[in-house]
Amino acid sequence: MVLVLLAVMDMTVGYMISQSGHLKKQKMTENTMPVTEAEGVAMEPERASYELAFHILPTVTEGEVPEVVNDIKKYIADAGGAVQDEEAPEHFTLAYEIEKYLEGKYRKFTTAYFGWIRFTLEPAAVAELVAEVEGHKRVLRHLCIRLTKAEEANPFRFHEALARDTSVETIDTDEVVATDAAGPVDDNTESAATTDTAEADTITDETPKGN
């Protein structure tokens, strides 16, 4: 009898252990994403904000400038980027001469059309984009920078700022130096000098003439 009871107890305990393991296994399976589903989830590629500033050759006619801009936008789109903002190129005088190798020789330019385009793009694709812009025959110079959050929120519009800055005054430096060297004129000194000159003229007029 005792042996039968022990056997029954062993069977019961074994069954409970078996059921407990089955429940734990089932719970883990329900809370764990199947491998096939995990492999099917596509991670969104990281994108960053960039600004591409560029000078277009002054030999390009004004009507052809938009064509060059469209070429640059196409390079951005082909690289997987998306244009966010831009400043249309306008002709202006450069701060210094820029050289470009054209038609077998280096040529110097003192003017250009300047503009910029802002866009988002995966960082890995930036080098290829810059190479495309570098190879454009009508682009004089370019610079691509990654924007901070503050720069992204506050774009600087060069031509608008240039148009507002009209308070430029030309000063003759030679005239200023001469005035500073002479020093300020005292009103009393000027009056005394005038009086002395008048008295001298009077004495000269009253001097008797010789016979």
The answer to whether residue 201 sits within a structural domain is no
The answer to whether residue 78 sits within a structural domain is yes
pTM above 0.85, yes or no: no
Q: How many Cα neighbours within 13 Å face the side chain of 163?
A: 6
pLDDT score at 41: 57
pLDDT score at 100: 92
What CATH number is associated with residue 83?
A: 3.30.70.60
The answer to whether residue 59 sits within a structural domain is yes
Other CB atoms within 10 A of residue 75 CB: 20
The answer to whether residue 151 sits within a structural domain is yes
The span from the CA of 19 to the CA of 12, in Å, is 11
The answer to whether residue 135 sits within a structural domain is yes
- Name the residue among 155, 64, 159, 84 with its Cα closest to residue 114: 159
How many domains does the chain contain in total? Answer: 1
The answer to whether residue 211 sits within a structural domain is no
| Residue-range definition of the domain harbouring residue 109 | 48-164
The answer to whether residue 14 sits within a structural domain is no
Task: List, as one string, the DSSP characters of 14-40.
Answer: HHHHHHHHHHHHHHHHHHS--HHHHHH
Order of strands across the sheet that contains 82-102: 82-102, 105-121, 48-56, 139-146
Residue 145 corresponds to which tokens in the numbers above?
Answer: 């920078």
Q: Residue-wise pLDDT tens for the chain (211 aa)?
A: 444 444 444 544 454 445 555 544 444 444 554 444 445 556 667 999 999 999 999 999 999 999 999 999 999 999 999 999 999 999 999 999 999 998 889 999 999 999 999 999 999 999 999 999 999 999 999 999 999 999 999 999 999 998 887 654 545 545 544 445 555 545 554 554 455 544 545 444 444 454 4
Task: List, as one string, the DSSP characters of 61-99.
Answer: -GGGHHHHHHHHHHHHHHTT-EEEEEEEEEEEEEEEEEE
Between 65-78 and 126-134, two packed helices, what is the crossing angle to 10 degrees? 150
